[in-house]
Structure 1
């Protein structure tokens, strides 16, 4: 009885600690974070729509052409902002850095929404109105900035969870099967403050080449994991190694 329960528990634990299962749990958390942030951003933008319409209508009579056209202003700004955030959702997923104009466009749309939403309260000198109409745009602004970093860190968490679970389960399975296990290439040791020599791009690339094996997807996160390089350098290393892998696949040689 106990032996059967122990065997069932061991089988269940083996499935729960499988690297793909562990990574999937973190993926689900990332999905939940995305949905909650999107819900908050959309609700915040919807709250500002009426105030922006009143700002654009400027006292026009209801259902007149200027009054109707004023309803287009807030969606125009909000749709551009949502498009930027949607693009950042994908780039953060694969840890691809975006250019400075992306952040400028995001800040401009958020600033425009804030100004149009609070202008009437500032003009009327209503402190309560300023506070009330400042909260939703500022929440949207903070969420838009935070969600990008959260996605990036959750991507790192997925990679770290998979790697840790893989290192924990594969050696045990290999030992039980009598297979010799080769340790993965270790990242270069960090240099002390007294050593001013910096690791070169070629040295990082050599380390990444040694760590790569067929079936491994080369991503900036994986490059940082095996080399210990910086976030900015990992994208360049991943691009070079990916090109080498693709070229070697066509030529039939390993990188």
Structure 2
């Protein structure tokens, strides 16, 4: 962000209007890029492909960020600074392009998990009542009910085991 600000300020005096406005350039370009990536994500969820303008806008915002980040390094002729200032925008570029393929592959996984596909069907969630039934069946008179014991016999989560244990202890108090 500081590289873009220095590029945009172009020697403007510190705290001048131009210097202050230059701080807005990087967030503006980054927010547009984030909006594009988010829109691609949402539309992909519904199987809608984006057109060439969207890809062009994504590439343009990435290219603009790259140029503004590396301009002073190129002007100074410093290979080290060019590499240093190239890495962040290039990582963002590669990640933004990888997201497109990842989104398509994740969409295919979801489509393959459709009803009727027993090999990839999601496991249904176990309810509190179902866990409680399993714990009640496993409980004997000599069992000290603790969340750890509940997790051991039901396989429930740590957070749920405390509630189940409290319910079982309350059940025992009523007997």
Q: How does 1:196-215 map to 2 (within 5 A)?
A: none
* SS at 2:113 equivalent: helix
Structure 2 length normalisation: TM-score? 0.65
Residue of structure 1 in register with 2:15 after alignment: 63
Give the TM-score taking structure 1 as reference length. 0.45
List per-residue Cα deviations over 1:101-123 (Å, max 9, x = no partner). 00001101100000010000000
Deviation at 1:164, TM superposition (A): 6.6
In the TM superposition, what are the counterparts of 1:97-136 in structure 2 within 5 Å?
Answer: 97-136=49-88
Are 1:95 and 2:57 an aligned pair?
A: no
Secondary structure at the residue paired with 1:109?
Answer: helix
Unaligned runs of 5+ in 2: 122-175
Closer/same/farther in 2, CA of residues 167 and 68 from structure 1, 3 Å limit: closer
Higher RCO (C-alpha 8 Å, min separation 6): 1
Please state how far the C-alpha of 1:60 moved relative to its aligned partner.
1.8
Q: Secondary structure at the match of 2:14?
A: coil
Question: Is the CA contact (8 Å cut-off) linking 2:5 and 2:25 kept in structure 1?
Answer: yes
2:92 paired residue among 129, 140, 146? 140
Instruction: Select the structure of larger CA radius of gyration.
Output: 2
Structure 2 CA distance, aligned partners of 1:103 and 1:111?
12
What is the CA deviation profile of residues 73-112 of structure 1, one whole-angstrom value per residue up to 9, with x for unaligned ones?
1112111111111100111212211111000011011000
Following superposition, the deviation at residue 166 of structure 1 comes to 3.1
Partner of 2:105: 153
Aligned length: 121
The offset of 1:61, in angstroms, is: 2.0
- C-alpha change, 1:167 and 1:119, in structure 2 (3 Å) is closer
Match of 1:80 in 2: 32
- Deviation per CA, 1:162-191, whole angstroms, max 9, x where unpaired? 45743688xxxxxxxxxxxxxxxxxxxxxx
CA distance in 1, matches of 2:51, 2:2: 33
